[in-house]
Amino acid sequence: MTSPFDQPVARDHTCSVKFDARKAVFGREDVIPVWVADMDFAAPEAVTRALVERARHPVYGYSLFPDSLYQSMIDWFRTRHGWDIQREWILMAPGVVPSLNAACMAYAEPGQGVIIQPPVYPPFFSSVRQSGRTVIENPLVLEKGPDAGPGRYRMDLEHLEQCAARPDARVLMLCSPHNPVGRIWTEEELRGVLAIARKHDLVVLSDEIHCDLTFDDGPRHSVLATLAEPDDALVTAVAPSKSFNMPGLGLSALVVADAERRKAIKAVFQSMHMPQCNPFSSAGFEAGYREGGPWLDELLVYLRNNRDYVEREVRERLPGMRVSAPEATYLMWLDCRDLGMTDAELKRFFVQDAGVGMNPGLSFGNPGSGFMRLNIGCPRAVLAEVLERIETALDVRR
């Protein structure tokens, strides 16, 4: 049986970063783009319908966030995640990446430390450095898998304790579920993070933008806030952008229970004159959370099958490469270290020899050396072509 997600959607010449920036990023336009973290699927019909309905009103002036938008988000997280959010805790933001930067500026002074856990999404690094703060690295630990198979990442809580004890440490930025390694952190790990942050008076920024993209054959994602104590210094970043494939609309939310911390990060956004509401972003945000559930459920089945397909094919057809099934996200972390290439050679192999455009692991920090990130949010036929190209290139190399 075919799925609606099998249907290709032409994205060339739509000003798509993923497709139309191929020449600039990879040096050639004919690579298959499986890099940028958006999907090649049409957004839920409810989202498109809401945008069209808003466009019918021909005045696109300054807008307010309607009460119904907040309620759609509150209802979503109560139903899907068992998290009861109070309306006054919510601060709308122009995206999760700007929120990372704002958190650094709000909760740490220039030169003070922000802890991150590489390999991790590149803006975790840039948000700290560009704001004049200091990166403190608490690398994830890759455990060896059975029979030389793919390993599994875990947090190094002992080392995290050492990082948090530094006198300059002020903020911990957590990626949960984790991009790029696909982990859903256990309650034990998350409680350990909270205990360390509590002990050392750290503000935790928990980026949970991928929280809806979890699979039914794995662990359940725990929103960090549902495990926290009332006085914990916690800021949670969420958005419908990954869930419903609309990151270009550029709207997210921060959930901050403490009024003073909420005021501090709001002041950063206001200092940059960034609180304005885009009427289309608002319409899409509400429609996704209010009506996108059935679409998301179908998507997760398709992504799980894509994940299992890639894992099986890599194991059977691509010697020198390993991959473990992510517990969440539509991103797969390919271990290419056994190919014996430098990072520069690895990038050249995939781009020039295989014609596949992925994210080099090194861009996620030094622990990403020897890895590549593959986006499986695309029709199965695209993944089949990606794997065929890589297999052919490996055969030629041998």
Share of the chain above pLDDT 90, in %: 95
A 10 A CB-CB count for 36 gives: 17
**Residue ranges of domains in the chain, CATH in brackets:** 4-43+294-397 (3.90.1150.10), 49-291 (3.40.640.10)
Tell how far CA 377 is from the center of its chain.
13
* Amino acid 397: pLDDT: 87
As a whole number of angstroms, the distance between CA 105 and CA 101 comes to 6
Q: Are residues 195 and 283 in contact, defined by beta-carbon separation less than 8 angstroms?
A: no
**Nearest alpha carbon to residue 329 among 173, 193, 221:** 221
pLDDT digits (tens, 9 = 90+) for 137-149: 999 999 987 665 6
Residue 173's pLDDT is what? 98
Could you read off the pLDDT of 211-247 as tens digits, one per residue?
Answer: 999 999 999 999 999 999 999 999 999 999 999 999 9
Mean pLDDT of 384-393: 98
Span 323-360, pLDDT tens digits: 989 999 999 999 999 999 999 999 999 999 999 999 99
Tell whether omega for the bond before 94 is within 30 degrees of 0, i.e. cis: no
Contact between residue 333 and residue 182 where contact means Cβ atoms under 8 Å apart:
yes
3-state DSSP percent of the chain in helix, strand and coil, to 5: 45, 15, 40
What digits encode the pLDDT tens for the residues 159-176? 999 999 999 999 999 999
The average pLDDT across 47-75 equals 97
pLDDT of 150 above 80: no
